[in-house]
Structure 1
Amino acid sequence: MNRFRFAWLAVALFALSPAFAIGQRAFTPPEGIAFKRVTITSEGTRMVGETFSLLSHGGKKRPTIVMCHGWGGTAAGLRRDAVVFARGGYFVVTFDYRGWGASDARVVLVGPAPKEKQEGAFTAQVREVRGVVDPIDQTTDLLNTVHWVHGEAQCDADKIGLWGSSYSGGHVVYAAARDQRIKATVSQVAAFDSRWVIANEQARQATFAKATQRARGEAGYPKPFARELGNLIGAPIRERMINYAPVEDAGKAPNCAMLFVIAENEELFDNADHGILAHKRARGPKKLIVVEGIQHYGIYREKRAHAQQLALAWYDEHLKP
């Protein structure tokens, strides 16, 4: 079996991408749902988050779910799922990664910094790093969102779960291995290994050549939201993926309950090298569910409601008394 068979990198993740178009539209929460936009700071950069809860809970502490979007998506695409989880009795947080959706982006200097500074502050021309895919940055944003939610009055800090889908399904396992406060994760149709960037000699040379160019100032970051890999929105920062393999982290969170939901007919990567292997390596409470009769995108279409209920049942088992 080929661990690096990532056919999904040559197809559009349009199941995650509608949010890209609707992210800035006004959102009216359903009846009975409290909705709020919030500011989360990650590495000094402002991210936009959204919270969902039941109005009837009146701001009381609740088990909490932090959700993160996949490759090319935004938090707006998670609202349907967030509302379902909120109705299930959870305080739910979604957010846009830095450089995506409504969040600000990291900035880099266009030229040398001026010599004259006032208490470390100066005026300079900068360029934002927007619409690129960097799993290290994205998981940092996820972990900072977990830090942020600990300060929320509605968050029961002893009962925090994470939810991720496709590329972010690996992110939540990566995060759980690095933050023992995370008690449960749900990864659906998840990719757990980005080492395809060095899977063969040609890929290895291309990845390291671009890294060298960037380190020497001979190349910058890709254009925002570039379609470098098929129709995928957002070019990858390949050198940041060399060691990014959440499948290696699955066994490093023995106190976290992990649910792995896979598509029976997954066509974009080999389940044996991703969800099945991650489940095998997990050391805490764990469960592997195969959703029959669907390919990758079926989890967002005909089986979306089913996947929501699978996640709710898992959170109820591990985050509620």
Structure 2
Amino acid sequence: MRRDIEFDAEGVTLRGWLYLPDEARGSVPTIVMAHGFSAVKEMYLDSYAEVFADAGLGALVFDNRNFGASDGEMRQEIDPWAQVRDYRHAITYARSLPEVDGERIGVWGSSYSGGHVLVLGAIDRRIKCVVSQVPLVSGHENFRALVRRDLIAPTLKMFEEDREARYAGKEPARIAVVAEDPSQTPCALPTSDSWEWFTQTAESRAPAWRNEVTLRSVELFTEYEPGSYVQWVSPTPLMMVVAAGDHLTPADLALAAYEKALEPKELVLLPGGHFDAYVEDFEAASGAACEWFVEHLIEG
């Protein structure tokens, strides 16, 4: 069972869906979920929420501010710390609902929001279980893994020029999220699988998705270090789902972060790449997450 929801995030209305088990009686443990860099909820979050609901869990899925059905200005801008705060607003809203057991809240995030839930697990003890899928763990290191060495200085120069232009009153510069040929068209996520997944998924599932973010969003990405919080998630149970072939949020960075996490924790290693977690490896990724939530929110 799914219904539309909206809630206030300190003056900005965020919108999404609330999934509940068909046979729900009383309040249920609930997972709070949002998507990664520029993605909207129609890009497979409904599929994960349905798996959770079938297992007896609620799922509150929302679009990040400035994207999709949610309000917010400026449009297409991603501030990771604003998104972390919005998860916390979503948790507060979820706890106000009679259908939700506010003492059994889990969080799920993927890619950029996979980093957010590491931060959340460390700082918000209302959260009783965390699943971090193919997470960004270090914006600084990830930036250097994605951007060719000779292009790092020109990219930093773009950030500086945009900052000075904004100070002079000009509109923030914008950049594509993905490009078929990143060597010809600068973009935020310069990998071939990023281009394929975003364009194909937008065509088939999310026609409202826009291939554009502010350049400032990319600069903020380079400053974001969610992996620095991973050791503080404990004693909240943490599952990290890592794709062995991930070169967008490199697997070696995620695995190194996992080693720093304290117990209780569990690692799930998928065979494919970053976006296979939503498609080819969906059953393994969603199944493992579901079992973790059931263990710690229903059975625990």
Instruction: Report the TM-score, using the length of structure 2 for normalisation.
Output: 0.79
Alignment correspondent of 1:130: 75
- Give, in whole Å, the separation in 2 of the partners of 1:250 and 1:217: 39
Q: How does 1:108-123 map to 2 (within 5 A)?
A: none
Residue 80 of structure 1, CA deviation: 1.3
- Give, in whole Å, the separation in 2 of the partners of 1:191 and 1:139: 14
Does the CA-based 8 Å contact 1:198-1:207 persist in structure 2? no
- Give, in whole Å, the separation in 1 of the partners of 2:177 and 2:246: 26
| CA spacing shift, 1:137–1:97, aligned 2, 3 Å | same
Alignment correspondent of 1:99: 66
Alignment correspondent of 1:251: 231
| CA spacing shift, 1:173–1:248, aligned 2, 3 Å | same
- Give, in whole Å, the separation in 2 of the partners of 1:283 and 1:317: 18
Structure 2: 5+ residue stretches without partners: 145-151, 179-186, 199-210
Q: How does 1:158-197 map to 2 (within 5 A)?
A: 158-195=103-140
Match of 1:45 among 2, 12, 17: 12
Residue 83 of structure 1, CA deviation: 0.9
| Structure 1 SS opposite 2:20 | strand
| Structure 1 SS opposite 2:288 | helix
Does the CA-based 8 Å contact 1:168-1:190 persist in structure 2? yes
Alignment correspondent of 1:318: 296
- Give, in whole Å, the separation in 1 of the partners of 2:285 and 2:48: 9
| Structure 1 SS opposite 2:138 | coil
Alignment correspondent of 2:171: 220
Opposite residue 285 of structure 1, the aligned amino acid is: P
Does the CA-based 8 Å contact 2:133-2:240 persist in structure 1? yes
- Please say which structure displays the higher CA radius of gyration: 1
Asked if 1:283 corresponds to 2:253, the answer is no
Residue 171 of structure 1, CA deviation: 1.2
| CA spacing shift, 1:284–1:182, aligned 2, 3 Å | farther
| Structure 2 SS opposite 1:249 | helix
| CA spacing shift, 1:50–1:224, aligned 2, 3 Å | farther
Match of 1:148 among 89, 93, 104: 93
- Give, in whole Å, the separation in 2 of the partners of 1:144 and 1:222: 29
Alignment correspondent of 1:210: 162
| Structure 2 SS opposite 1:132 | coil
Does the CA-based 8 Å contact 1:39-1:46 persist in structure 2? yes
- Give, in whole Å, the separation in 1 of the partners of 2:233 and 2:108: 15
- Give, in whole Å, the separation in 2 of the partners of 1:308 and 1:105: 30
In the TM superposition, what whole-angstrom CA distance separates every residue of 1:6-58 from its partner, at most 9, and x where no partner exists?
A: xxxxxxxxxxxxxxxxxxxxxxxxxxxx2111111112011112100123214
Residue 290 of structure 1, CA deviation: 1.1
- Give, in whole Å, the separation in 1 of the partners of 2:297 and 2:173: 40
Opposite residue 299 of structure 1, the aligned amino acid is: A
Residue 203 of structure 1, CA deviation: 4.2
| CA spacing shift, 1:72–1:90, aligned 2, 3 Å | same
Opposite residue 258 of structure 2, the aligned amino acid is: H
| CA spacing shift, 1:242–1:71, aligned 2, 3 Å | closer
In the TM superposition, what whole-angstrom CA distance separates every residue of 1:186-226 from its partner, at most 9, and x where no partner exists?
A: 11122212125985555444434433433x24432345976
The runs of 4+ residues in structure 1 deviating greater than 6 Å are none
